[in-house]
């Protein structure tokens, strides 16, 4: 793996993969849906409508003459983009013409073409995207959970915003966000494929335009989030076949750098013990139809927020909740066996090796860890070093019922 | 990335792609049968049942622990539908032997575990464990009833069930709830054994040390008798196109248009059909994406796809219920344009490149290398990626116009929320 920071501040990662035919490249900004308050040189701190990072992602595909899809299509390349809470990424995958596509990707991100007319036009498209998610039970239950776990942290609002907030977005606001967050010093690029590192780096240097807008450190503001949750239990109805249950724990985002990476490993082990198929509890919950194959858990963290979720489709959300309380309490009082932990570590190790075959996964991981300043190269060492005691501490400190919310979706009563 | 084939017995083919490109070895086994009722539902239970336990690992817990011990080995099973075949799939992947301590032993242990889970379910020998059977019937029932949860998939399911109600293709890949209720443990177990002994079995391997794997499968695959002869879909002519609207509680409306193309995998014009579909709605540069989404702002997703065995073209869009008629009109205009040859050389060229690129990209995914052959094994004519990309390259404008001229609308299906007042038909 090759990495370098260009003079303009852009961080570049290149991972040569001999024998592979595809080239994948991603150009990302350290800017996502939660970055809604920031400082402008003249105006001081401003707050922009929710959903603006995602809106901007849509709009960068617009060009004065036609749109960017056509330029990638001439190489048969597929191009796409996505926005998360903390990051916006533009990517392509191609067999032919990767050098040209690379330069097209850089241009796409560096030549915004925003007019009142084309911004208005996009609102209809995004409204349909948001409505699609509103019909989606997994998305819905997660949104309701975060709205009730967090009081003010912007992670409580959908990445795409709301139909109303999207309607309010203006060209000027889009430009302000663009000029603040798309400066090369706030961005990173990763290229994976059968490419030569020097050639790739040369192409990026040569094609990356001189940044004409704001430069320098970006002051962002995140509101102070109280420790307690908004609502410990919240229910909604949706047109679904059976109830769904999702439990969330709000964690204090205290970890930075290597400690954050280490905590991610520890929490992934914690949730395997609670909700993995290899956990001693799964069989009983499954046999009683309290969980099904959708049962799963995850730890989601960044320097600005951290929370865990665990959930399933279920016949009985209340009963599942009681059982999870018992399971977690049992794990909190008796340490996991080192046999279990060693086996789970083998799983992480094997999964890590195999992950290098997924270009998308590897490239996005490099960038995410760069933005959150977590030293990913230390991953396997940290996995090896994690102790049973640390897992025990995390179980007791992080799974705090006073900081938990349950989100339940029930079938619409007709 | 081509496969070397050998026969391991009547109807059993082993396909091997020896390569050190990947960090894992991947194995998939496919058993094919005709898609028909009531066996479709019995077959659909198999993936649910095998994950519960095998003779050597008699519970989900033991299976999961063994897979973890094997450095995140991955097992799954599912049922697929290719045209009017129902295909039972078993998947196994583990880290390449060269990257593990005692790699070859681990590989053999992994493949034996895979075989055990797939072929040797836990039980008394003439049935599945009764509790497992009861619970998995319930799981499949929930799966079938849960179709309504994902509105886009549900709209596709409903439209195909309605359009092809008189044909085997109208059967859902997981069968139906009524048949499920009538299934009994021993008969499903009997069906499971017949799947392993009387139907075509294709085993695919991608990775290194394949001689170890081949020897092992040679020992494990039992001797078999006669193998069932399977059918291919019959052509259906469209007498008159239908319009069906159903309502359910939802935010968006979804339109699905089902067309008969009169062209499938074995036809000479098949790749022209893929190109025609690509120009219509297969890419972001396609006519549907450009006109329904980018110009008219009516949808976030809109696109078309081909079912190549049955020869169907399907268009799907998620829209606001109020813009149904406008959307249908723009869609019709796009198909008309292609049928009249109203598309540029650039559109043709971009689409051919896009298709060839997508096809070639499969070489970079072990599962992709395998899955692309499914339609080939169903039609008993496997084609290499080079053959396919060459066939795509050869497609000319007149080929596209000719094949697209035969594309006939069968069923327009709309799933939407009930109108505020008045409208009350077809609710559920």
Q: Note whether A131 contacts B72, CB cutoff 8 Å.
A: no
Separation of alpha carbons B351 and B357, rounded Å? 10
Average pLDDT of the residues of chain A:
96
The CATH code of the domain that includes B246 is 3.30.830.10
Out of B71, B99, B364, the one facing A20 most closely (by C-beta) is B364
Using an 8 Å Cβ cutoff, are A313 and A242 in contact?
yes
B215 and B248 in a single domain? The answer is: no
Triad B271, B277, B278: Cα angle to 5°: 90
In-domain check, residue B422:
no
B390 and B298 in a single domain? The answer is: yes
Strand partners, A191: A14, A25
B139 and B37 in a single domain? The answer is: yes
In-domain check, residue A221:
no
Helix (H) or strand (E) holding A194: none
Instruction: Write out the catalytic residue numbers of A.
Output: 57
A87 and A129 in a single domain? The answer is: yes
Separation of alpha carbons B361 and B348, rounded Å? 20
The alpha carbon of B408 is separated from its chain's Cα centroid by a whole number of angstroms, namely 23
A303 and A351 in a single domain? The answer is: yes
Out of B60, B94, B248, the one facing A283 most closely (by C-beta) is B60
Residue B413: how many other CB atoms lie within 10 Å: 24
In-domain check, residue A89:
yes
Which residues span the domain enclosing A71? 2-207
In-domain check, residue A97:
yes
Does any CB of chain A come closer than 8 Å to the CB of residue B120? no
Helix (H) or strand (E) holding A20: none
Q: Tokens 């003459």 belong to which residue?
A: A65
A113 and A174 in a single domain? The answer is: yes
In-domain check, residue B66:
yes
Strand partners, B412: B243, B257
How confident is the model over A55-74, as a mean pLDDT?
Answer: 91
B257 and B191 in a single domain? The answer is: no
The alpha carbon of A284 is separated from its chain's Cα centroid by a whole number of angstroms, namely 32
Say how many domains are in chain A: 2
Out of A20, A76, A137, the one facing B149 most closely (by C-beta) is A137
A301 and A398 in a single domain? The answer is: yes
B80 and B173 in a single domain? The answer is: yes
In-domain check, residue B234:
no
In-domain check, residue B289:
yes
Angle, helices B39-50 vs B130-145, to 10°: value is 110
A351 and A243 in a single domain? The answer is: yes
- Span A112-158, pLDDT tens digits: 999 999 999 999 999 999 999 999 999 999 999 999 999 999 999 99
Separation of alpha carbons A13 and B9, rounded Å? 50
Percent pLDDT > 90 in chain A is 95
> In this predicted structure, what is the pLDDT of residue B427?
36
pLDDT band at A414 (very low <50, low <70, confident <90, very high): low
B37 and B186 in a single domain? The answer is: yes
> In this predicted structure, what is the pLDDT of residue B423?
46
Helix, strand or coil for residue A235? Answer: strand
Helix, strand or coil for residue B14? Answer: strand
In-domain check, residue A156:
yes
What is the per-residue DSSP string for B16-37? EEE-SSSSEEEEEEEEEEE--T
- Span A251-278, pLDDT tens digits: 999 899 999 999 999 999 999 999 999 9
In-domain check, residue B230:
no
Separation of alpha carbons B97 and B3, rounded Å? 20
> In this predicted structure, what is the pLDDT of residue A67?
79
B261 and B212 in a single domain? The answer is: no
In-domain check, residue A402:
yes
B202 and B292 in a single domain? The answer is: no
Say how many domains are in chain B: 2
Chain A residues with CB-CB distance to B95 below 8 A: 350, 353-354
Helix (H) or strand (E) holding A304: none
For chain B, the first-to-last Cα distance in angstroms comes to 48
Residue among B294, B167, B291, B183 nearest B235 (CA): B167
A300 and A387 in a single domain? The answer is: yes
Mutate to test the interface with A, among B65, B141, B320 (most CBs of A within 10 A): B65
Write down which residue in A157, A189, A207 finishes a domain: A207
Does any CB of chain A come closer than 8 Å to the CB of residue B24? yes
Residue among B3, B5, B28, B9 nearest B220 (CA): B9
In-domain check, residue B423:
no
How confident is the model over A296-312, as a mean pLDDT?
Answer: 96
In-domain check, residue A227:
no
Separation of alpha carbons B249 and A355, rounded Å? 40
- Span A143-201, pLDDT tens digits: 999 999 999 999 999 999 999 999 999 999 999 999 999 999 999 999 999 999 999 99
Out of B68, B148, B363, the one facing A21 most closely (by C-beta) is B363
How do strand A306-313 and strand A244-251 relate by DSSP bridges?
Answer: antiparallel
B247 and B158 in a single domain? The answer is: no
DSSP code at position B13:
E
In-domain check, residue B424:
no
Residue among B17, B15, B7 nearest B362 (CA): B17
pLDDT band at A42 (very low <50, low <70, confident <90, very high): confident
Residue A280, both tokens: 């001693």
How do strand B253-260 and strand B74-82 relate by DSSP bridges?
Answer: unpaired
Q: Which of residues 12-31 of A touch B (CB under 8 A)?
A: 19-22
In-domain check, residue A31:
yes
B276 and B365 in a single domain? The answer is: yes
> Cis peptide leading into B206, omega within 30 of 0?
no
The CATH code of the domain that includes A84 is 3.30.830.10
A163 and A301 in a single domain? The answer is: no
Residue B388: how many other CB atoms lie within 10 Å: 20
How confident is the model over A94-121, as a mean pLDDT?
Answer: 96
Q: Tokens 């379910």 belong to which residue?
A: B121
Nearest CA in chain A to B292: A125
In-domain check, residue B236:
no
Secondary structure (H, E, C), B277-308: HHHHHHCCCCHHHHHHHHHCCCEEEEEEEEEC
B289 and B213 in a single domain? The answer is: no
A45 and A142 in a single domain? The answer is: yes
How do strand B312-319 and strand B299-307 relate by DSSP bridges?
Answer: antiparallel
Separation of alpha carbons B202 and A234, rounded Å? 49
* Strand ranges inside B154-268, DSSP E: 201-207, 242-247, 253-260
Does any CB of chain B come closer than 8 Å to the CB of residue A347? yes
A251 and A360 in a single domain? The answer is: yes
In-domain check, residue A228:
no
B283 and B160 in a single domain? The answer is: no
A64 and A112 in a single domain? The answer is: yes
Question: For chain B, how long is the longest CA-to-CA vector?
Answer: 71
The alpha carbon of B261 is separated from its chain's Cα centroid by a whole number of angstroms, namely 19
Q: Note whether A239 contacts B250, CB cutoff 8 Å.
A: yes
Using an 8 Å Cβ cutoff, are A289 and A315 in contact?
yes
> In this predicted structure, what is the pLDDT of residue A87?
98
> In this predicted structure, what is the pLDDT of residue B46?
98
Q: Could you tell me the mean pLDDT of each successive run of 10 residues in chain B, 428 residues long?
A: 92 96 97 96 98 98 98 98 98 95 94 98 97 98 97 97 96 97 98 97 96 94 90 90 96 97 97 98 96 96 98 97 97 98 97 97 95 96 96 98 97 92 44
Q: Phi and psi at residue B171, in whole multiples of 5°?
A: -75, 135
Which residues span the domain enclosing B19? 4-220
Distance between B296 CA and the closest CA of chain A, angstroms: 8
Q: How many CA atoms lie within 13 A of A322 on its CB side?
A: 4
């Amino acid at each position: 793996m090759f990495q370098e920071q260009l003079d303009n501040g852009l961080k570049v990662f290149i991972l040569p993969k001999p024998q592979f035919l595809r080239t994948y490249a991603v150009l990302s900004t350290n800017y996502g849906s939660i970055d809604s308050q920031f400082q402008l040189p003249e105006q001081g701190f401003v707050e922009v409508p929710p959903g603006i990072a995602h809106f901007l992602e849509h709009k960068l595909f617009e060009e004065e003459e036609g749109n960017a899809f056509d330029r990638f299509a001439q190489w048969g390349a597929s191009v796409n983009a996505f926005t998360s809470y903390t990051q916006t990424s533009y990517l392509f995958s191609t067999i032919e013409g990767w050098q040209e596509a690379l330069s097209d990707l850089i241009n796409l991100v560096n030549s915004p073409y925003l007019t009142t007319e084309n911004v208005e036009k996009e609102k209809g498209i995004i409204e349909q995207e948001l409505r699609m998610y509103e019909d989606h039970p997994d998305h819905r239950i997660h949104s309701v959970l975060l709205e009730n776990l967090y009081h003010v942290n912007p992670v409580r609002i959908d990445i795409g915003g709301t139909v109303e907030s999207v309607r309010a977005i203006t060209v000027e606001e889009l430009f302000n966000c663009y000029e603040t967050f798309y400066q090369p010093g706030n961005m990173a690029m990763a290229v994976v494929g059968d490419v030569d590192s020097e050639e790739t780096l040369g192409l990026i240097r040569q094609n990356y335009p001189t940044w004409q807008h704001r430069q320098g450190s970006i002051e962002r503001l995140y509101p102070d989030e109280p420790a307690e949750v908004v609502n410990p239990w919240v229910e909604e109805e949706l047109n679904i076949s059976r109830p769904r249950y999702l439990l969330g724990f709000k964690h204090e985002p205290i970890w930075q750098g290597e400690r954050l990476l280490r905590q991610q490993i520890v929490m992934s082990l914690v949730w395997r013990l609670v909700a993995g198929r290899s956990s001693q509890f799964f069989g009983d919950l499954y046999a009683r139809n309290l969980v099904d194959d959708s049962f799963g858990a995850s730890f989601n963290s960044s320097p600005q927020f951290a929370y865990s979720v665990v959930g399933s489709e279920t016949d009985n959300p209340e009963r599942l909740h009681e059982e999870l309380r018992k399971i977690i309490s049992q794990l909190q009082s008796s340490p996991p066996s080192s046999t279990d932990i060693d086996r789970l570590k083998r799983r992480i190790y094997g999964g890590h090796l195999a992950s290098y075959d997924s270009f998308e996964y590897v490239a996005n991981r490099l960038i995410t860890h760069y933005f959150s300043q977590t030293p990913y190269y230390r991953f396997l060492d940290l996995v090896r070093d994690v102790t049973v005691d640390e897992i025990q501490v995390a179980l007791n400190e992080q799974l705090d019922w006073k900081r938990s919310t349950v989100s339940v979706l029930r079938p619409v009563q007709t | 990335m081509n496969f070397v084939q050998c026969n391991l017995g009547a109807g059993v083919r082993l396909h091997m792609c020896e390569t050190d490109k990947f960090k894992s070895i991947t194995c998939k086994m496919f058993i094919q049968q005709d898609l028909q009722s009531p066996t479709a539902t019995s077959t659909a239970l198999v993936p649910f049942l095998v994950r519960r336990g095998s003779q050597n690992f008699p519970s989900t817990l033991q299976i999961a622990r063994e897979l973890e011990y094997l450095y995140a080995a991955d097992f799954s099973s599912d049922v697929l539908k290719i045209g009017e075949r129902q295909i039972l799939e078993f998947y196994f992947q583990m880290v390449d032997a060269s990257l593990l301590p005692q790699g070859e032993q681990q590989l053999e242990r992994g493949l034996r575990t895979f075989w055990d889970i797939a072929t040797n379910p836990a039980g008394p020998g003439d049935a599945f464990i009764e509790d497992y059977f009861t619970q998995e019937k319930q799981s499949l029932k929930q799966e079938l009833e849960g179709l309504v949860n994902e509105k886009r998939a549900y709209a596709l399911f409903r439209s195909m069930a309605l359009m092809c109600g008189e044909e085997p293709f109208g059967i859902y890949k997981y069968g139906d709830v009524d048949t499920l209720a009538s299934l009994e443990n021993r008969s499903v177990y009997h069906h499971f054994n017949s799947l392993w002994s009387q139907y075509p079995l294709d085993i695919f391997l991608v990775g290194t040390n394949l001689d170890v794997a081949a020897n092992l499968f040679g020992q494990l695959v039992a001797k078999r008798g006669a193998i069932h002869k399977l059918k291919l879909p019959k052509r259906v002519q469209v007498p008159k196109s239908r319009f069906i609207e159903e309502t359910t509680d939802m935010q968006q409306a979804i339109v699905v248009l089902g067309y008969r193309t009169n062209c499938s995998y074995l036809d000479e014009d098949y790749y022209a059909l893929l190109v025609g579909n690509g120009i219509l709605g297969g890419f972001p540069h396609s006519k549907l994406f450009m006109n329904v989404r980018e110009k008219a702002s009516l949808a976030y997703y809109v696109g078309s796809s081909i079912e190549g065995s049955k020869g169907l073209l399907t268009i799907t869009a998620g829209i606001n219920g109020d813009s149904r008629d406008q959307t249908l009109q723009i869609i019709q205009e796009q198909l008309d344009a292609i049928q009249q040859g109203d598309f540029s050389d650039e559109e043709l060229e971009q689409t051919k490149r896009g298709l060839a690129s997508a096809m070639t990209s499969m070489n970079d995914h072990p599962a992709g290398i395998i899955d692309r052959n499914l339609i080939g094994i169903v039609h008993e004519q496997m084609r290499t990626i080079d053959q396919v990309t060459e066939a795509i390259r050869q497609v000319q404008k007149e080929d596209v116009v000719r094949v697209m001229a035969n594309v006939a609308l069968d069923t327009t299906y709309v799933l939407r929320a009930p109108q505020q007042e008045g409208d009350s038909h077809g609710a559920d």
